[in-house]
Amino acid sequence: MTTDPCDYNFPGSEPFSEPETKAFRDFLIKNKDDLAFVINMHSNGNSFIYPFNGRDENDIEERRPGILNIFTQISKEAPFAEGTEKGTSKKVMGITVGGDQDDWTLAELGIPSVTAEIGKEDNFIDEW
- 83, part of any domain: yes
- 72, part of any domain: yes
- 28, part of any domain: yes
* pTM tops 0.85, yes or no: no
Sheet holding 113-117, edge to edge: 38-42, 113-117, 47-49, 85-87
- Provide the 8-state DSSP code for 75: H
Give the mean model confidence (pLDDT) for residues 42-61. Answer: 85
pLDDT tens, residue by residue, 73-99? 999 999 888 889 999 888 888 888 777
- 109, part of any domain: yes
Domain of residue 27, residue span: 19-121
Neighbours of 53 (CB within 10 A): 24
Better-scored residue on pLDDT, 18 or 2: 18
Nearest CA-CA partner of 41 in 91, 101, 123 = 101
pLDDT tens, residue by residue, 100-120? 889 999 999 999 999 998 876
Check residue 50 and give its pLDDT.
92
Give the mean model confidence (pLDDT) for residues 40-69. Answer: 87
- 11, part of any domain: no
Please state the separation of Cα 80 from the chain's center in Å.
16
pLDDT band at 29 (very low <50, low <70, confident <90, very high): very high
- 7, part of any domain: no
Neighbours of 107 (CB within 10 A): 16
For the chain, how many structural domains are there in total? 1
- Provide the 8-state DSSP code for 106: I
- 127, part of any domain: no
Residue 128 has pLDDT above 50, yes or no: no
- 8, part of any domain: no
H helices within 12-107, ranges in order? 19-31, 60-63, 67-77, 89-93, 101-104
| Bridge partners, residue 40, by sequence | 115
Check residue 125 and give its pLDDT.
43
